[in-house]
């Protein structure tokens, strides 16, 4: 039984990795590497800050990796891949919008406080 299982697993991996591997599969693998790289970016940023942080690069890789994975799902006509990516990409873009809004607000506060100092001086 164990011999049969190892033989069947070998056939399965041959089918997945060799026989069915095409340009779209290579693109899908690349998409997953891009998507997974976001965790390396987050880990490095957290180690540098010595606390848990989520840098902008995390969200950029999330969007790019998510879009690539969605394109792969569309090419493969796989709703199981497409549907979650659509919702996830929306969340990633929304986070980028919130980050941009916070930066604009912070820059506005800096400008307004310097204007106050200039008018008081």
Q: Specify the pTM.
A: 0.75
pLDDT tens digits for range 29-56: 999 999 999 999 999 999 999 999 999 9
Burial class (CB in 10 A: 0-12, 13-18, 19+), 38: buried
The more confidently predicted of residues 19 and 40 is 40
> Dihedral (C-alpha) 85, 105, 103, 113: value to the nearest 10 degrees?
-170
The more confidently predicted of residues 71 and 2 is 71
CB 35 within 8 A of CB 73: no
């Amino acid at each position: 039984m164990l011999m049969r299982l190892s033989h069947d697993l070998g056939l399965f991996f041959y089918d997945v990795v060799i026989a069915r591997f095409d340009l779209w599969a290579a693109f899908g693998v690349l998409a997953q590497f891009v998507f997974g790289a976001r965790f390396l970016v987050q880990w490095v940023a957290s180690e540098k800050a010595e606390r848990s942080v989520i840098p902008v690069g995390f969200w950029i890789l999330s969007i790019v990796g998510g879009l690539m994975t969605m394109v792969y799902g569309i090419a493969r006509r796989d709703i199981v891949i497409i549907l979650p990516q659509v919702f996830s990409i929306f969340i990633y873009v929304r986070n980028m919008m919130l980050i941009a809004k916070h930066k604009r607000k912070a820059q506005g506060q800096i400008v307004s406080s310097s204007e106050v100092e200039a008018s008081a001086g």
